[in-house]
Structure 1
Amino acid sequence: MVARFMSLKEAVASCVKDGDTISMEGFTHLIPHAAGHEIIRQGIKNLTLVRMTPDVIYDQLIGAGCAKKLIFSWGGNPGVGSLHRLRDAYEKSWPTKLEIEEHSHAAMANAYDAGAAGLPCAVFKGYRGAELPRVNPNIKFIECPFTGESLAAVPAIRPDVTVVHAQKANKKGDVLFEGIVGVQKEAVLAAKKSIITVEEIVDDFGDISPNAVMLPNWAVTAIVEVPGGAHPSYAQGYYKRDNAFYKAWDPIARDRETFQAWLEEHVINGGPEDFAAKREANKG
């Protein structure tokens, strides 16, 4: 498999279908918002959403009725408060019922590693004295056959599709990440298919170390050039975090009608080209 270059609409239509398990990763930085909006526009439903730290983009996907389940290890609007669309779906089944499966960060990271390695589960030291095993039946304990030690085990994460954002891809389809990264590499390697949105496509990466190429072209399904595609999160070297948007999201998401109006104006009637203007507005 060698990465193909295509539009965002083509990438989502060819890779994502109803009922899929989707991972959209990026830790405070390089969060793939533009791709999330395209999933909403295409009306894809019954998704199992996986993310270590679901924030605004998952609030939007859940509020748009795209999700049936969320697998996560922390959820909130960073620095602001709750995800109101997530809470409304889980507590009141609006617009659809939402199932949740909560883990620790360590469990999620290890589960992605296990998925990337083709293993059925992740085994690690964790959850000792924690209460999550009481409410999450996918947390088990096993005995180490060598030491007799009790270890935690969780299912490997093997998404149907992983979506991430990066700074650059070259024309061979290799992908360059710079700055803070989370579990993007592991999430892509664990998935059957992947969509990588990037700020720009270049001839080559110049003098940058080959070690910065976290994803070679053979590990990627689709590459899409979407300038500003991580807004309102940031992309190092391109634009800063739009803190004003995160603050503004709280009152938008609190009210169903306000949220629906925002969704119609900015997502349903929008497109990936809208993110380029947001990138210009947040440079510096």
Structure 2
Amino acid sequence: MTAKTSPHKAIPIEGLSAWVDDGDSIALGGGWFANHPMAAVRELIRAGRQGLHAITVVGSVDIDLLVAAGVLGKVSFSMVTLEAFGLAPNFRRAIEAGTLDFVEYTGLGLNIGFEAQGRGVPFLPYRGPFGSDIPARYPEIYQTVECPFTGESLTAVRAVQPDVAIVHALRADAEGNAQWDGTSGPDVEMVKAAKKVVVTCEEVVDRAVIEANPHMTKVPGYYVDAVIEAPFGAHPTSHVPSYGVDAWKLLDYATAAAGGSFDSYVDRIRSEDEASYRAREIGERGEVLRALIDVAKVLNPEEVSA
């Protein structure tokens, strides 16, 4: 049986490297400080992968860490940011030094590229991006086309097909049916576009749990090749409704990355497995991160003003 037809796709996180080869293009899910597949990112570093081409709509600590670890040879992106903590230092240094190849998309353009591939067409048109010089800079991606019905000039975006998409879900069963309870960002479009799909999730559950909540299934199992249970797998970014963003650890990261010497941070990740990472970086603080979600549920403008 192939992975696509096997009902037993659950693997340990150490098996991730079997699905990602050196030089592959990998679409990483999540956006801003939410839902990034950070456990998978750390595992790719431990596996010693090199020359990967990361594709991200709004990348964050995931891209910056992979750059620092020497895993990436290229990045296609619309934005890479540490948000309130400033620019992504390792990513910026590599771009400025010319050591990292890159392609810059508009955010909508990249999403449309994924959608085109998922629909099985070579491109899709849209209006825009008006005022941007990106289309002229990348004619291999953007072209102007004429609508055959109205004669209107539109921008065509070439389909984007990653070798692998890696996304982080709330839960999945062993068949790959994956659920989110909140935003899934660009993840679904990435999954439909990719040749191979790996879903990390907070927990692997019985199929009956999936069937009891069918409205939450955003990725059906037939798209998925492998499922990995990874509690706190988006840490230090958030995965609502399980836990909030770990601003304390992100501040530590931003401070260390801005210092210019980041080897000790990366070496520590290489030297430990994911369970050891959770024990060191999260530990009992996991309850605090979960409590942030409960606070957000009851917080409202009237309470803030009071």
- If the length of structure 2 is used for normalisation, what is the TM-score? 0.86
Summarize deviations over 1:139-180 as a string: whole Å, max 9, x none: 221111221111112221111000011111124431111112
Find the counterpart in structure 2 of residue 170 from structure 1.
Answer: 173
Larger RCO (CA within 8 A; separation ≥ 6): 1
Q: Which of these residues, 115, 118, 121, is aligned with residue 120 of structure 2?
A: 118
Find the counterpart in structure 1 of residue 43 from structure 2.
Answer: 38
For 1:1-284, what aligned pairs fall within 5 Å after superposition? 1-2=4-5, 4-10=9-15, 12-27=16-31, 28-93=33-98, 97-137=99-139, 138-203=141-206, 204-205=208-209, 208-257=212-261, 259-265=262-268, 267-277=269-279, 278=282, 280-281=284-285, 282-284=289-291
Distance 1:84 1:242 in 2: 19
**Alpha carbons 1:29, 1:181 under 8 Å: kept:** no
Closer, same or farther: CA 207–115 of 1 in aligned 2, 3 Å: closer
Residue 202 of structure 1 deviates from its aligned partner by 1.5
Which residue identity does 1:113 align to in structure 2?
E
Closer, same or farther: CA 280–212 of 1 in aligned 2, 3 Å: farther
Which residue identity does 1:283 align to in structure 2?
R
Closer, same or farther: CA 70–46 of 1 in aligned 2, 3 Å: same
Judge which range, 20-29 or 269-278, deviates more.
269-278
Which residue identity does 1:35 align to in structure 2?
A
Question: Percent of aligned pairs with the same residue?
Answer: 30
Closer, same or farther: CA 206–14 of 1 in aligned 2, 3 Å: closer
Highest CA radius of gyration, 1 or 2?
2
Judge which range, 185-194 or 268-277, deviates more.
268-277
Q: Tell me the matched-pair count.
A: 278
Which residue identity does 1:217 align to in structure 2?
G
Which residue identity does 1:109 align to in structure 2?
N
**Alpha carbons 1:229, 1:276 under 8 Å: kept:** no
Distance 2:210 2:49 in 1: 39
SS of residue matched to 2:23: coil
**Alpha carbons 2:113, 2:158 under 8 Å: kept:** yes
- If the length of structure 1 is used for normalisation, what is the TM-score? 0.92
Residue 15 of structure 1 deviates from its aligned partner by 0.8
SS of residue matched to 1:52: strand
**Alpha carbons 1:68, 1:99 under 8 Å: kept:** yes
Distance 1:206 1:163 in 2: 20
SS of residue matched to 1:253: helix
Judge which range, 204-213 or 97-106, deviates more.
204-213
**Alpha carbons 1:25, 1:163 under 8 Å: kept:** yes
Distance 2:177 2:136 in 1: 43
**Alpha carbons 1:24, 1:31 under 8 Å: kept:** yes
Distance 2:195 2:211 in 1: 32
Residue 279 of structure 1 deviates from its aligned partner by 6.9
Runs of 4+ aligned structure 1 residues displaced above 4 Å come to none
**Alpha carbons 2:210, 2:217 under 8 Å: kept:** no
Closer, same or farther: CA 231–42 of 1 in aligned 2, 3 Å: same
**Alpha carbons 1:166, 1:199 under 8 Å: kept:** yes
